[in-house]
Amino acid sequence: MIRPRLALAVVLVSVALAPPAHAITGSRSAPADAVARAVVTVIGPRGVVCTGALIAPTVVLTAGHCITEGTSNRVVDYSAKPPRLIAAQKAATHPQFSRQALQGHRATADVAVIQLAAPVPDKAPAPLATPRIPIAPGAMFTVAGVGATAPGSDAGVGTARAAGLTVTGNPGTLQMRLVDPLTQNRRAGTGACTGDSGAPVFEDRGGSSVIVGVVSWSTGPNNSDGCGGLTGVTPLTLYKDWIVKTARSWGAAL
């Protein structure tokens, strides 16, 4: 069964601010430096963990279902000892996002942006783009998230890990489904897991990594509950203009 939510409810002090370990189930691969520097840990109410990506020094792109009303989201600054939380000044979810549609396993505008009160030290933004159209089955993308390394576990939350995944099924402008090319959803492989909601999806453009989508959900092998099967992505094809316009309205230069 498709899991429309990958946010992870954890004890904030013991997990979100703990020394980070591995992330992205089935993977121990660190992202390229430019990718790793863009990825951040987003904390919501009650210690819910999501992944986000800096698209400007004080603007984070994440999933719409990770955002709550007001400015209750925070981003972890791991450069501080002990780690500290950077508060949000503003948050905006795409006006066409429907939590009901997502919970019903239907495609929706599952994207949001957060304006931080201050930049995240030792981090740097990544550029936005849209996937090449048409999106071809078998095309390669890289997902980088801070979620759990295994379903049903808090292990690995906090450090960005990457997975190279390929497009499967019938991709379009509303949704892409990614899969580990070695396991093809038949057995457990690499992919997004709990806590990877909002993780940036990168495409290589001439040797540079650009963000072209956001992780929304995952399944276990053979579409079971869990992780390591399919990774569901909301492409930025229809939503990049809104993201840029919103960030610029906050004074960000994109």
Which fold is adopted by the domain 1-254?
Answer: Thrombin, subunit H (2.40.10)
The rounded distance, in Å, linking the Cα atoms of 186 and 14 is 34
pLDDT tens-place string over residues 181-208: 999 999 989 999 989 999 999 999 999 9
pLDDT value of residue 31: 81
Within the chain, strands assigned E span 8-9, 39-43, 48-56, 59-62, 74-77, 84-93, 112-116, 140-145, 161-168, 176-179, 200-205, 208-218, 230-235
Question: Would the pLDDT of 3 be above 80?
Answer: no
pLDDT tens-place string over residues 47-62: 889 999 999 999 999 9
pLDDT value of residue 44: 86
| Angle value at C-alpha 194, between 47 and 131, nearest 5 degrees | 115
Other beta carbons within 10 angstroms of residue 253's beta carbon come to 9
Find how far residue 251's CA is from the centre of its chain. 23
- What is the dihedral sign for C-alpha 176, 243, 100, 228? positive
| Location of structure tokens 């090319």 | 181
pLDDT value of residue 111: 98
pLDDT tens-place string over residues 111-147: 999 999 999 999 999 999 999 989 999 999 999 999 8
State the chain's mean pLDDT as an integer: 87
pLDDT tens-place string over residues 8-22: 544 333 333 333 322
pLDDT value of residue 153: 67
Band (104; pLDDT cuts 50, 70, 90): confident
